[in-house]
Structure 1
Amino acid sequence: MSKNQGNLSNRQMKDLRDAFDLFDRDKSGTISLSELEQVLIALNFKPTDSLVRKVMKEMDIDGNGSVEFDEFVKVMKNVYERKFTDDEMRRVFKCFDIDGSGYVTADELHEILKRLNRDISKNQIREVINEVDMDHDGKISYEEFVHIIQQT
């Protein structure tokens, strides 16, 4: 276990690796400023140059202009350790709820992943939704989303 890992579980480390790999679009082993900007855009944020630079500065601990996996873990470890406010959770949920219906559908999840250059089949997306979908209506409600986030 690396010292950056702290008390993160193996599942959390795998989740962080998966997230890092999603950001690292060119598979260079680092997240560049432009990759960070592209991910924010794909998640329906409309980042200004100054916002992207600010986020990069917070993540780029050694100041070399890119984020390595260890830096990513150090920053993201705080996500696992803190509780999010309802307002924060709703803002994140809205990034995925593209049509504002109050639900995240398979099509919306597919669209977000496509924007992130992840070619995942609709079947795989349905499997993910089935794992999260407690009331079995085929979509993810805000309450189901919160439940999953709080379990991580």
Structure 2
Amino acid sequence: MSQNQQALSNRELKELRDAFDLFDRDQSGTISSSELKQILIALNFHPTDSLLRKIMKEMDTDGNGSIEFDEFVKVMRHVYQRAYTDQEMRQAFKCFDTDNSGYITASELHEVFRRLNRDISEHRMSEVLSEVDMDNDGKISYEEFVHIVQRT
């Protein structure tokens, strides 16, 4: 295990592995530039080629044109080590709350997974919602979103 991975808990490493596997759409064990672009588009960002090259350069530390899991961990581990501003959290929330209702619904969550080319069953969608939806109203509020993102 690399030095960067030792600073993370097993739960955090599993979360990063799950995210990496979700982004690795062709299951090659790496994230390519085109996969990174599709991820950003799925999250309602419209990256320019220049921005995409900049992100790839930052993440692809060995310069081979793709992002391996260890490289992904090196960049993403800061997620667990920093506090996000309210503005950053609201911007992230908006990526999912596409109708600006103030809630993330099951259909909005399903749409994000669809844009990531991940078919998710209704049962799994219910599981995901129940894990995050603390007041059991069938949707994710901003407060619930913040709680799940900032959990330790």
Structure 2, unmatched stretches of 5+, are none
Match of 1:123 in 2: 123
Deviation at 1:24, TM superposition (A): 0.9
Query: Structure 1 unaligned runs (5+)?
Result: none
For 2:55, the aligned partner's letter is V
Partner of 1:83 in structure 2? 83
Task: Indicate the percent of aligned positions where both proteins have the same amino acid.
Answer: 74
Give the secondary structure class of the aligned counterpart of 1:4: helix
Residue matched to 2:102: 102
Within a 5 Å distance, the mapping from 1:1-152 to structure 2 comes to: 1-152=1-152
Return 125-134 or 34-43, whichever deviates more.
125-134
The CA RMSD measured in Å over matched residues stands at: 1.0
SS at match of 2:5: coil
Q: Post-superposition shift, 1:50?
A: 1.1
SS of corresponding position for 2:63:
coil
Asked if structure 2 preserves the Cα contact closer than 8 Å seen for 1:24 and 1:31, the reply is yes
Amino acid at match of 2:100: G
Between the two proteins, the alignment pairs up a number of residues equal to 152
Deviation at 1:93, TM superposition (A): 0.6
8 Å CA contact retained: 1:20, 1:72:
yes
Deviation of the 1:89 alpha carbon: 0.6
TM-score computed with the length of structure 1 as normaliser? 0.96
- Return the letter of the residue paired with 2:115: R
Normalised TM-score (structure 2): 0.96
Task: Compute the displacement of 1:6 (Å).
Answer: 2.6
**Amino acid corresponding to residue 146 of structure 1 in structure 2:** V
Tell me by how many angstroms 1:102 deviates. 0.8
Letter in 2 for 1:129: L
Work out the CA distance in 1 between the residues paired with 2:99 and 2:121: 21
Q: Per-residue CA shift, 1:20-63, capped at 9, x if unaligned? A: 11111111111111110001001111111111111111111111
1:16 CA drift (Å): 0.5
CA offsets 1:107-138 (integer angstroms, 9 cap, x no match): 01111001111111122111211111111111
Is the 8 Å Cα contact of residues 106 and 122 (structure 1) preserved in structure 2?
A: no
